[in-house]
Amino acid sequence: MSSKLRAGIVGGTGMVGQRFIALLENHPWFEVTSIAASPSSAGKTYEESVKGRWKLDTPMPEAVKRIMVQDASKVEEVAADVDLIFCAVDMKKEEIKALEEAYAKTGTPVISNNSAHRMTPDVPMVVPEINPDHLKVIEQQRKRLGTETGFIAVKPNCSIQSYVPMLHALQEFKPSKVVATTYQAISGAGKTFTDWPDMVDNVIPYIGGEEEKSEQEPLRIWGEVTEAGIVKAQEPVITTQCIRVPVADGHMAAVFVTFDEKPSKEDILDRWHNFKGRPQELELPSAPKQFITYFEEENRPQTRLDRDIEKGMGVSAGRLREDSLYDFKFVGLSHNTLRGAAGGGVLIAELLKAEGYILPKK
């Protein structure tokens, strides 16, 4: 019998669900044993349910092809056979909130890729290298939900991974004002160019709800755990524009930043190169050894060349220069469906397991 924790994928037929399944193939700690989706997919094998809709370049893992897809709304049935759940459903926000809480109340840890609970005060929204201390709010959440072992932890918006890690590494210099424009790949909308031919040779200067998330979620990540839950930080002030560009994978950000205590360029590069977080300390399976990579070349990072750095779990930066209006400007890049979505979720689960929050069900 396998000693791995049994993982369920709720929303397993969509692009992010497929990423979870691919990433968990041969994972040393987790094994996909259950997949759940909409009623239209339930009762079919996983291979049948995504026939003609497998969106990844890598083949579907053999181990999941014959798993019978369950109805995600039948919470007790799905939860009975798993130790944890990765959730990536496409539903209305209030429906997602209710569904995830229902799973948590069965005593099942839920690692969510969805935005529904990102601002719920007692739900940790985590970038494992940045705010692992927020996991302690789980105890408050468990009391509210009436469960000893279940909880929800969420991954933040995919676009902020392209600039927040670089700013976080510079917190000692007190960033006060940030302007960020993100150039976001179509896979962030769950699409390929086959699905979305209108994006070929096109740029769309609007992504619904994205700018509010990009401005507010970093403040929650930098917030403080209190008796009332997580309270957002007040600084830096962040303003963003979010643009959809004709790129398959990889979100890029052009960032301008002012500090209360202006560092030198050498200070910044030193902090980026030497930054490590809890995942690196624990040597978690999905953790990048070098979290932030800086490119000296003027034309780097580039999405096609650099999005897969550290197996898509690292972030990269380039073009660091002093600015005439702000202190510095730079370009950042992250892989939106790996570090920014499913990979980030898997890393959160690894951190939760390592810190004792996820255990086998008895």
Active-site annotation holder among 134, 168, 251, 335 = 251
Q: In angstroms, rounded to a whole number, what is the distance separating the alpha carbons of residues 216 and 229? A: 16
Q: Which residue in 208, 209, 351 sits closest to 343, CA to CA?
A: 351
φ/ψ of residue 238, rounded to 5:
-120, 135
Helix axes 93-105, 138-145, angle to 10 degrees: 90
φ/ψ of residue 146, rounded to 5:
75, 40
Is 242 a catalytic site residue?
A: no
Is 251 a catalytic site residue?
A: yes
Q: Which residue in 136, 201, 208, 99 sits closest to 356, CA to CA?
A: 136
Residues facing residue 259 across a β-bridge: 175
309: exposed, middle or buried (Cβ count in 10 Å: 0-12, 13-18, 19+): buried
Active-site annotation holder among 87, 134, 158, 335 = 158
Cis peptide before 165 (omega within 30 of 0): no
Two structure tokens written together for 261? 């205590």
The CA-to-CA distance between both ends of the chain, in Å, stands at 15
What is the DSSP-derived secondary structure letter of residue 68? B
Residue 328's H or E segment, with its range, is: strand 328-334
What is the DSSP-derived secondary structure letter of residue 85? E
SS3 label, residue 204: strand
250 within 8 A of 335, measured Cβ to Cβ: yes
Two structure tokens written together for 91? 């539903």
Two structure tokens written together for 251? 């979100």
Q: Give me the torsion for CA of 338, 339, 340, 344, rounded to 10°.
A: 100
Tell me the catalytic residues.
158, 251
